[in-house]
């Protein structure tokens, strides 16, 4: 898998500093000292919702993640990074997507964040739930399209997908459109 930064077209980029943001400082002083560079996949969901820099873009930010030829009917886990700017500060989000193509050849990517309370689900990770996503925290499980089957009240979110030059690009996280 590859890491691709979005091309910024704007000529008025704010200066970038690799310093501690206010959020990071509060985390330290509260004694968290944890994930101060961004907390897993949940933060990007918030960022895409509220970050004006990202929202101003026409299509939103897309990151090059996987070659189309590598995508199969079986969901596969892909890791990628997203650089984000929080005002003056640059941080990196480490994201995960489960990507597959359906019977019609359409490629889609699901977020592994459980819609119950935010744990990370795994594909085929529990032998009691074959060919499903399963959450180890409270037993939520989902179909391969992300439809919730127990515990969670919503399906797994999707990443926006763009196919370009035989590569899969992933964008912002949105509510599931496959099952709803």
Partner 1 sequence: MKFSEFEAETWDEMKKFFDTCLLPVTGLTGSEAPHEAAERLELLRDVMDWIESPFQGRVVTYPAVQYGGAEAADQINRIIQGVRQAGFIYVIVASAVEELNEELLSGVNLIVTPQRYAKSAGQHKSQNPAVQEQILRLWQEGK
Contacts with partner 1, residue ranges (CB under 8 A) = 27-28, 30-37, 39-40, 42, 79, 94, 114, 116-120, 135-138
Of 35 and 163, the one with the shorter C-beta distance to partner 1 is: 35
Task: Please identify, using beta-carbon distances, which residue of 137 and 163 lies nearer to partner 1.
Answer: 137
**Least distance (Å) from partner 1 to the CB of residue 105?**
29
Q: How many C-beta atoms lie closer than 10 Å to residue 66's C-beta?
A: 20
**Calpha distance 72→140 (Å, rounded):** 25
Element (H, E) at 48: helix 42-50
Nearer to partner 1, 30 or 50 (CB): 30
Tell me the residue ranges of DSSP E strands in 27-166.
Answer: 63-67, 76-86, 89-101, 107-110, 122-123, 133-134, 141-142, 148-150, 158-164
Q: How far is the CB of 32 from partner 1 (least distance, A)?
A: 6
CB 132 within 8 A of CB 77: no
Smallest separation (angstroms) from partner 1 to the CB of 59: 27
Q: How far apart are CA 109 and CA 147, in angstroms?
A: 13
Nearest distance, CB of residue 135 and partner 1, angstroms: 8
Q: In terms of CB distance, is 55 or 138 closer to partner 1?
A: 138
Give min distance, CB of 136 to partner 1, in A. 6
Question: Which residue, 12 or 18, is less far from partner 1 as judged by CB?
Answer: 18
* Cα 122 off chain centre by: 14
Residue 29 DSSP SS3: helix
Dist CA 28 CA 36 (whole Å): 8
């Amino acid at each position: 898998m590859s890491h691709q930064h979005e091309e910024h077209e704007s000529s008025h980029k704010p200066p970038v500093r690799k310093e501690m943001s206010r959020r990071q400082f509060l985390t330290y002083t509260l004694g968290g000292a944890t994930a101060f560079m961004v907390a897993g996949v949940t933060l990007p969901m918030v960022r895409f919702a509220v970050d004006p820099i990202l929202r101003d873009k026409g299509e939103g930010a897309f990151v090059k993640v996987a070659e189309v030829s590598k995508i199969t009917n079986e969901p596969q886990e892909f890791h990628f990074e997203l650089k984000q700017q929080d005002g003056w500060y640059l941080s990196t989000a480490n994201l995960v997507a489960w990507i597959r193509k359906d019977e019609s050849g359409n490629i889609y990517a699901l977020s592994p964040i459980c819609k119950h309370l935010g744990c990370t689900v795994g594909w085929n990770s529990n032998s009691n739930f074959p060919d499903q996503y399963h959450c180890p925290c409270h037993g939520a499980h989902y179909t391969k399209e992300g439809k919730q089957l127990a515990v969670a009240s919503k399906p797994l979110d999707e990443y926006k997908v763009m196919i370009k030059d035989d590569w899969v690009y992933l964008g912002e996280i949105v509510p599931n459109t496959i099952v709803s």
